[in-house]
Structure formats: C-alpha cells, structure tokens
C-alpha cells in the first residue's frame, strides 16, 4: 500500500513538472509567435493594396513605401489604420457629374401661337426644323403665303421635317405619297397610327416625313410698274404700314355676299379642321362687299388665296376676302361697310367660284358664323 502511494505521488509530480515545462516553453516563444503573425498580416495587407492599385490603374508603390510601414508601427492598431486609407482610395468609384441622355424623337404634333416679330425662319430654327416644313405643314393657314404670317395665328409643328397633310375627298395613301414624292411605306409611321389595309378618312391629318409640298413664294410678288396716282388696277400685294386713317368701325359685320348661303367648307370644318374661314356661295362676277368700315392693308395676289383683299377695321379686327376675280380697291384706301372690294372669282386654290371669308381678332381666326347679322 505504501509502495503504491509512493508511485502515485512520483507520477503526479513528474506530470506536473512536464506541464510546467510546456507552459514555460509557450511563454518563452509566445512573443516570437505574435511578431511572426503580425508580420504575416502586414504582408497580406500589402499584397491586397498592391493588387488593388493595379486594378484601379494607379502608380505602382516603391519598395521604400512598402517597407516603411513595417519598420515604424508602434502597435497593431497603428499598422491597421495606416493601411486602411490607401485601400479605400484604391477601390472608391469616382462619381460622374454628367450623363449623356440620347435624344428621343417627339411623338406628337404640337402647336405654336405666333408672337410679335416672329418669322417662319425663326420659328423653324426654334424647333430645329426646315423653314419649308413650317410652311408645308400649315398650307391651309398660310395659303402658301408665308409673308402673311401674323401674331395670334396657331401653327402646327410636326416632329420631323416634311409636311402635315389633311386628307381630302377621294385621296388614298398611294395618291398622297405620290403627291409628296415619298414611298407609300413612309406614311405608315409611328405618328399616323395607320395599319395597312385600312382606308384613310377625309379630314384625317397625316405626318409625311421627308414630304415635299407645293411650290410657294417666300416674298409677295413685286407690283407692276405704275405711273401717276395709284389705282385699283395697280395696287398689288402687301401694303406695308399704311399711314392712312379711315372711318371708325361700326362694331358689327354685314354679309360679304349679301346672302347667308354657304358653299364649301365652314370654319374648322370636320372635313378640313384647319380651315380658318367660311366659304360663301357666289357666282362669277357677283359683287363682294366690305363687312365693316376700315382701311385696305393688302390688295393683290396671295398664292392659295388667289386675289386677296385685307381690311383693317381699327378695332383689333381684320377681314379677308379671297379668291376674287380681280381687285377693285387699293392699298391704304378707306372703305365703308357695303363698299365693293371686287367681284366673286375662283383664283388661287379654288375648285369653283366662291368667297373665302375670314374674320380675325388680334390675329386669331374667328368663326364668321358667330358674327353674322
């Protein structure tokens, strides 16, 4: 029993001695192991920063720059802090202050109200279109006479160069394409919403990209040579800023043909929505009367209007008398309600004798039917 107890005590003492030896060994080399682990960590961080610099396209670090952090840190925290800044700078994405947005084609026809001092060229430049596009897209409004552009008029502004066409009676996609010198497929576009095989209707308005419209003159035709005092036969075209005062307007309008009979389009007719006047019936040579007192400010040829007389009534209203067979008044002439301005005709864009009559207030076309006595 005593022998067994002695062996147990000796074994326990030997085991305790070995444990103390191990602890002593670990204690002796723990500082060395900590330094090795820290060096390994620094090498790993340096490798990561070097690789990030290559990816970001930055300059390569020098050997001195790599070695310096290893030689000077005072603690592990200082070492980590010193390596965080370059790593963050290397992987930070730079902000781009500007972004290019591709231009998109306008998907609708818009309108523009003509302002004082506007010109066809200025309007075209504003909307980045050709001047011819503005005229061809507003032939019904301007009647192919761009010099008659007036503040208050509403113009259609298509999204692309070409023309804007109102479908007439008996027209087809094929005939319209031929008139505007384009392929038939051109009319089946994103603006018109047409499907092949479906018929178009009278009064429908179509965008014709690249379309070429009717010929027109940019300026009014020059007046013929004249001698002596101007007469109706020599009064021709735009009168300019006439300085003649005339009788004050009565403030109400008479019938320019002496009749309510209408022949052709009414104001903004469903068959021709951009028609700005009212077509009165008359026979070739019938007298056409001034609707109110005023002064003649235009007398002569005006392309689609044919022979045209414009009367300024001095109260913000103007009246237009178009398609006359001839002109019987002169520029600056003072006329009275009921005075004859010329005979009924079929000049200009006309398919038969009639009077195209317009009333404009501040340049804006009005419905003449609302002003009939």
Residue 36 binned pLDDT confidence (cut-offs 50, 70, 90): confident
Residue 215 tokens read as: 């010929």
Residue 312 binned pLDDT confidence (cut-offs 50, 70, 90): very high
Average pLDDT over residues 344-364: 95
Q: How many beta carbons lie within 10 A of that of residue 372, not counting itself?
A: 13
Average pLDDT over residues 253-268: 94
Euclidean distance between CA atoms 79 and 86, whole angstroms = 13
pLDDT score for 137: 95
The backbone torsions φ and ψ at residue 186, rounded to the nearest 5 degrees and listed phi first, read -60, -30
Question: Is the model more confident about 200 or about 198?
Answer: 200
- What separation, in Å, do the N-terminal and C-terminal C-alpha atoms of the chain show? 147
User: Rounded mean pLDDT of the chain?
Assistant: 79
Task: Provide, for the chain, the percentages of residues in helix, strand and coil under a 3-state DSSP scheme, each rounded to the nearest 5.
Answer: 30, 20, 50
Euclidean distance between CA atoms 123 and 333, whole angstroms = 33
**302: pLDDT strictly greater than 80:** yes
pLDDT score for 185: 92
pLDDT score for 362: 92
Question: Is the model more confident about 363 or about 40?
Answer: 363
Euclidean distance between CA atoms 149 and 304, whole angstroms = 14
Distances (CA, A) of 12 to 1, 4, 19: 17, 12, 11
Residue 195 binned pLDDT confidence (cut-offs 50, 70, 90): confident
Tens of pLDDT along 125-167? 999 999 999 999 999 999 999 988 999 999 999 999 999 999 9
C-beta of residue 32 within 8 angstroms of C-beta of residue 70? no
pLDDT score for 224: 56
Residue 9 binned pLDDT confidence (cut-offs 50, 70, 90): very low
From 13-22, 130-139, 181-190, the region with the lowest mean pLDDT:
13-22
Tens of pLDDT along 39-81? 667 666 555 454 444 444 445 444 344 444 444 444 544 444 4
């Amino acid at each position: 029993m005593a022998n067994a107890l002695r062996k147990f005590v000796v074994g326990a003492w030997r085991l305790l001695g070995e444990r103390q030896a191990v602890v002593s060994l670990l204690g002796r080399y723990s500082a060395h192991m900590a330094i090795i682990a820290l060096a390994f960590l620094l090498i790993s961080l340096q490798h990561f920063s070097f690789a990030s610099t290559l990816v970001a396209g930055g300059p390569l670090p020098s050997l001195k720059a790599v070695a310096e952090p290893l030689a000077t840190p005072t603690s592990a925290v200082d070492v980590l802090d010193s390596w965080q800044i370059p790593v963050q700078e290397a992987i930070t994405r730079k902000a781009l202050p500007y972004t290019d947005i591709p231009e998109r084609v306008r998907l609708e026809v818009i309108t523009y109200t003509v302002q004082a001092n506007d010109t066809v060229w200025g309007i075209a430049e504003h909307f980045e279109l050709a001047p011819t596009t503005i005229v061809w897209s507003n032939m019904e409004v301007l009647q192919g006479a761009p010099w008659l552009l007036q503040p208050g008029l509403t113009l259609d502004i298509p999204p692309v160069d070409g023309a804007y066409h109102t479908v007439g009676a008996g027209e087809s996609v094929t005939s319209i394409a031929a008139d505007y010198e384009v392929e038939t497929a051109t009319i089946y576009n994103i603006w018109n919403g047409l499907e092949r095989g479906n018929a178009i209707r009278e009064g429908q308005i179509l965008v014709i990209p690249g379309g070429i419209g009717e010929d027109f003159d940019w300026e009014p035709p020059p007046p013929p040579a004249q001698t002596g005092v101007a007469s109706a036969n020599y009064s021709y075209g735009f009168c300019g800023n006439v300085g003649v005062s005339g009788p004050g307007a009565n403030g109400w309008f008479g019938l320019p043909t002496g009749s309510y009979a209408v022949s052709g389009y009414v104001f903004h007719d469903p068959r021709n929505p951009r028609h700005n006047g009212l077509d009165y019936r008359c026979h070739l040579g019938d007298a056409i009367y001034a609707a109110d007192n005023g002064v003649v400010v235009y007398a002569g040829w005006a392309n689609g209007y044919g022979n045209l007389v414009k009367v300024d009534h001095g109260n913000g209203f103007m009246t237009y008398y178009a398609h006359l067979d001839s002109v019987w008044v002169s520029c600056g002439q003072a006329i009275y309600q009921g005075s004859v301005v010329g005979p009924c005709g079929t000049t200009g864009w006309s398919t038969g004798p009639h009077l195209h009559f317009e009333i404009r207030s501040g340049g804006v076309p009005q419905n003449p039917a609302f002003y009939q006595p």
